[in-house]
Amino acid sequence: MSETILSLNHLHKQFGALQATNDVSLELQTGEIHALIGPNGAGKSTLIGQIAGNIRPDKGSVYLSGTEITGMSIAQRARLGLGRSFQVSSLAEPLSVMRNVMMGVQALQSHSFRFWKPVAQDQQLLEPAVEALERMQLSHRAWTPVCELSHGERRQVEVACALALKPRALLLDEPMAGLGPEGSAKLTELLEALKLEVPILLIEHDMDAVFRLADRISVLVSGSVIAHGDSQTIRQDPRVRDAYLGD
């Protein structure tokens, strides 16, 4: 039986005269990838911001596993199990992959980075980081500085950073952006395996990846959900073809 992990209820957000989010409701359930697609400026990142806590909705509510999180801080939400990656990378380039992942865990546990601590000795940080890197098939790169990684490997590290916090739900904002076919194929394969453990709300422009991965798709245009359904339904929806997919 699938269970609702995340639910957005009638979210509204205005920036000046612009209605960036217009009465959006959607759900994420266990075992699924729910993709959010739509043209640039449709309001996809604004929606992710309202779930993760860096943008306050004007109206509406967000629930995580039945707990209302609408008014909570970013850190509170993360501690309750909301994992996310960013559209723009936030990795520390000179530091190792492992250290980057551990720093994420540490920041959440202690509210501050403690650079002076010999991090490799801290089992509480090491264990979740090792496990997250295994799941992202990056164990062999654990002690490599991030600046030596390929684009695709960096994306895998970003997902590992979120996974190390043992999230109940994962928000991914354009994880395939800038990746070549090989990097996208690898990440697609990893996300497909991951969704069985952590449901994923996926914003993505790479439609091959979306159609392969998504159990459900919501199409956002000008802040509103104009269509919702499985891959086949969305592919054939004339409004979606018109507004986004083209021919």
Binding site for ligand ADP (CB under 6 A): 15, 18, 20, 38, 40-46
Judged by beta carbon, residue 146 or residue 243, the one nearer ligand ADP is 243
The minimum distance between CB 2 and ligand ADP, in angstroms, equals 27
The minimum distance between CB 24 and ligand ADP, in angstroms, equals 11
Q: Which of the choices Mg ion, ligand ADP, none does residue 96 contact, using the CB cut-off of 5 to 8 A by kind?
A: none
Q: Which of the choices Mg ion, ligand ADP, none does residue 240 contact, using the CB cut-off of 5 to 8 A by kind?
A: none
Judged by beta carbon, residue 46 or residue 96, the one nearer ligand ADP is 46
Q: Which strands sit side by side in the sheet containing 4-15, from one edge to the other? A: 18-29, 4-15, 59-64, 67-68
The minimum distance between CB 45 and ligand ADP, in angstroms, equals 3
Q: Which of 11, 13, 27, 45 binds Mg ion (CB under 5 A)?
A: 45
Q: Which of the choices Mg ion, ligand ADP, none does residue 46 contact, using the CB cut-off of 5 to 8 A by kind?
A: ligand ADP
- Would you mind telling me the total number of residues written for the chain in this entry? 247
At 32, give phi and psi (nearest 5°).
Answer: -125, 160
Judged by beta carbon, residue 160 or residue 179, the one nearer ligand ADP is 179
Binding site for Mg ion (CB under 5 A): 44-45
